[in-house]
Structure 1
Amino acid sequence: MITQDQEMKGEEGKLKLPAPLDTIELFSGPRTVDKVVLAQDDVTRRMIVTYQDRRRLHPFIASLINPVVADKNAIRGMFEFFDTEQVYIAYREANTYPRVSFEEAMVGSFTPGRFTNKVVLIGNDHGGSVRDYIKTPFSKDAKAMTTLEVHANMLDTMIMNNAPVQAPAWVNILITILTSILTVHVLFTLKPIRSLSVILATGSFLILLGFIGFWPVGYWVKMAHPFLAIFLCYYFFIPYRLIIENRRSWEYYQRNKLLSQVEELKTNFISMMSHDLKTPLARIQGMTDM
């Protein structure tokens, strides 16, 4: 039986049902909600594998089916978070798992062997209130998925051992640095329209890269930092480029103005010299004609 409560060290055996149900063993299988840390949006993204070095319900059941996950070091994508070790949930679409109503189970109106070699979760799958539902990373609707189906996704993640793996920090830093360098280079070397096209193409490539890495491979690369780098580079370096271009335009204007003045002086000088030369030459020519 699952409970949301946690046993602290030194409180073993605290989680018990009242008599005569005290012989039923309780396992702690809490779900997490990002209310205070991380995204702070009430979304359930993670599941607890161990708490204070003790396994929770989901990895325990999964180890009975997939012995690989019995060794916590073999669990894919596990990371430490305060006193726990957690993994991200590999969610499937809502209503993926088959359901059998309580009435069907009581009267036996289902295919024989349907529960053979299956993990069966018993609970309320038609929540009467918002508290019976959770928000997922793929839908923040108040009734995105029932709590029972979330536990099914948790078990599926542990059994298949396919939790998403978060990319190391150096991968995010490298992508952010390369994106920043490319953005600055494009802003200073290409014309505005072409630079904007290249930046949009870069953003589309990052989205495609993140999508391909996450869905088929289960490798999660955070794209918030590269996109933030693109925005900051564009925000700060575009005005700088405009200042440089305005300065160049002013320098070109002053240079052209100076060249125009020089050309005008040259023209005036030639005109004056030709006039001054024509006068004595005309007199000399007149004297020779006499």
Structure 2
Amino acid sequence: MLRRVQKTPSEHLKFRIELLLRYFSRRKGFWLRCILCWAIGCIALSNDEIMSYDERFQLRGDQKASEQIVLVTIRQSDFAMIYDARTNFLDNMSEVTDITDSFFWNKEIWQELLIKILRQDPESVGVTLYFGDNVGTLRLTNEEYRLFMDPRVVWASTTNSLERILTPIFTNREFNNLGNNELRRDEDGVVRRVFPQRQEMPHLVEKITGKKFPTTMAGLPINFRGSGRVFTQYSLSEILYDEVPYDAFRNKIVLIGAETSSGPVYMTPMGTLSRAEILAHITDTVLGSKWIKRLPFWWYAFGFFFLMMLAVFLITTYPQSVALFFIGWIGTLLAALSAWFFDTFFFWSPALSPFVLLAACWIIFIGYQATKIERKNFRLQQEQQYLQELEQLKNNFVSLISHDLKTPIAKIQAIIDRLLVQHHAEELGTDLRSLRLFSDELNRYIQSILKVLRVESRDFKIHTDVADINEVIEEALQALRPLAREKSIAIHTTLEPMFSLEFDTTLIKEVVINLVENAIKYTPPGGSIEVISEEAEEDVRVIVKDTGEGIKPEDMEKVWGKFTRGSDQDLRSKGTGLGLYLVKYFIELHGGKVKMESVLGQGTSVSFTLPLDSEIENEVMV
């Protein structure tokens, strides 16, 4: 009695690991290519993360920004018109190369500007210019002090080269009306992110919005809504001369900036913007919680692995054209979804790197598929050569046996014929005639086998010639009429006169003989057979009708096979099952068709057609 061997869990684990190692070892070429494609995709992904933000913003263009944000821009030209006292100094302003924040300080102008803005009750006012030690000592009246210390006004602080915080002159005792206006550039000089500031000095945007930045060490990508034109802007002169709507600043967040030449503009994904415009974009991002979200790198790499496996499956399963269509469709779909998620949900997903991954999979695995096809073709050629040798050996064997049987059969028939002449005893004559009949039947079997071997050989050729189909039919019938008379079967012909055709007379004669011989075999004594030839529009049709028992419907297709006969004929009559196979084979060689119609108890009609416009070559290799 056999007992099942129990394995411990560790042995089961070891066995499964061994199976996996064997599997990967057998297909290491496939998996190494997969790993290479995945590595190329991950490398492209790392580059995509750095540069894709700029491209996304540029392709997206200007978007609708928050209407709660208003920009006030102090232009150099506007400031020149206001300061008549400095006219002589500003005549050559175009030659000034370093206009700093302090250039735009004038207590009276700023007093009037803040009065007109605060009069409309804004939510908050952020001054992005730094006014500290750079404007000197100021003396303020109580009214001026209350104006500049208004809790709605947030003044910009900055950081020097030693990272020491520099506070403006309007800092209150609680230091709660200050905000850092620092903007950091990336290594390529482009501003893309905003960084949370130290707790003792929050960012200017955090102060004017009352919202904190999400904490992150890597910086928060700014969701740029476009250029500076997406926000409502007013100039200093428009405000001072009351050229703005009466409610332009009501319940709004106002950012005041200026055109300076000390770091005048910043490079951003949307082009050059001023400090105030960038802070406006940050403010819009904070108000709408539009921070660009993204997953860790390994999540995208994990998704790339499944995308790679899908591409490999398509390439190795479907034809090249179908696989290329699906891969292109998948890449386009991913790019469209990436743009939609970025614009709608502010979620970043790679768009270019999936195309790189799919292209790498296509290039690498098309070569892999080509290598596999070459190996299969080589194996098929070897197998084909082996089968050809085997087929030739079989044909040689059967041909040798059949040929060697013909000689003894001919000798037996000659002895029987001599005995029939020499002996006239009735009993002996009956036996001799039976022997002669059986030898003829055996000879026909051998001849049929030789014909099949001949037509299936690779050097078989058909030789076409111009001849009259009716003459070929008459020649075939002349050879078969004695056989029909033995069974008292009448053969009638209805042959339509027609011009000559181009066909192989030997093969077509064999076709007619096989059809008529079959009709004689399966027609009872006293029956009749009709042979008809007629011309149609594009072909010639020959029909052989008999009055036999007919063929069952389920046998109509099987009788055309090699060594196949009707299911009820195996015991009633003898035959090789090769006659109709040869008929179909010879007719199709000529480009014609065969057709059979039969009704049980009434008879069978077999027809074949030959095309009038024959395009058969003089020699057809099979």
- TM-score tier, shorter chain, comes to 0.7 to 0.9
Please give the residue correspondences for 1:1-290 in structure 2 after superposition, counting only pairs within 5 Å. Answer: 1-2=127-128, 5-6=158-159, 11-12=164-165, 15-16=166-167, 22-23=169-170, 27-35=179-187, 40=188, 42-51=189-198, 54-63=201-210, 69-70=211-212, 72=213, 75=214, 78-81=215-218, 86-94=219-227, 95-124=229-258, 132-136=265-269, 139=270, 141=271, 143=272, 145-223=273-351, 225-290=353-418
- Indicate conservation of the 8 Å contact 1:180/1:226, yes or no: no
Instruction: Give 1:282 deviation, angstroms.
Output: 1.7
How far residue 149 of structure 1 moved from its aligned partner, in angstroms, is 1.8
What residue identity is the alignment partner of 2:183? R
Match of residue 423 from structure 2: none
How many Å separate the matches in 1 of 2:391 and 2:367? 35
SS at 1:166's partner residue?
Answer: coil
Q: Give the direction of change, closer, same or farther, for the CA distance of 1:168–1:117 in structure 2 (3 Å limit).
A: same
Contact 2:315 2:366 in 1 (8 A): yes
User: 1:112 and 1:53 mapped to 2: Cα distance?
Assistant: 37
- The corresponding residue for 1:66 is none
In the TM superposition, what is the alpha-carbon distance from 1:103 to its structure 2 partner? 2.0
Deviations 1:93-147 (A, max 9, x none): 321101112221221111112112222222246x8899525231xx4x5x4x444
Counterpart of 1:161 in 2: which secondary structure?
coil
Q: What letter corresponds to residue 289 of structure 1 in structure 2?
A: D
| 3-state SS in 2 of match to 1:44 | coil
Identity of aligned residues (%): 25
Larger Rg over CA atoms: 2
Describe the superposition over 1:165-200 as per-residue Cα deviations: whole angstroms up to 9, x where unpaired.
112345313321221111111111111111111111
Kept in 2: contact 1:176–1:225 (CA 8 A): no
Distance 1:163 1:278, change over 3 A: same
Normalised by the size of structure 2, how large is the TM-score? 0.38
Equivalent residue for 2:46?
none
Q: What amino acid is aligned across from residue 370 of structure 2 in structure 1? A: L
8 Å CA contact retained: 1:183, 1:233: yes
Contact 2:209 2:283 in 1 (8 A): yes
Residue 196 of structure 2 aligns to a residue in which SS? strand
Query: Whose strand proportion is higher, 1 or 2?
Result: 2
Q: Which amino acid aligns with 1:34?
A: D
For 1:133 and 1:7, how far apart are their aligned partners in 2?
A: 18
Deviation at 1:253, TM superposition (A): 2.3
Structure 2 stretches lacking a partner, 5+ long: 1-126, 131-156, 172-176, 419-622
Give, in whole Å, the separation in 1 of the partners of 2:266 and 2:195: 19
Q: Which deviates further from its counterpart, 22-31 or 279-288?
A: 22-31
Q: What TM-score, normalized to structure 1? A: 0.76
Alignment partners' CA distance in 2, 1:53 and 1:237 = 58
How big is the alpha-carbon RMSD for the aligned residues of Structure 1 and Structure 2? 3.1
Q: Does the C-alpha gap of structure 1 residues 103 and 131 become closer, same or farther in structure 2, counting only changes over 3 Å?
A: closer
Residues paired across the two proteins, number: 259
Tell me if the contact between 2:342 and 2:348 (Cα under 8 Å) persists in the aligned partners: yes
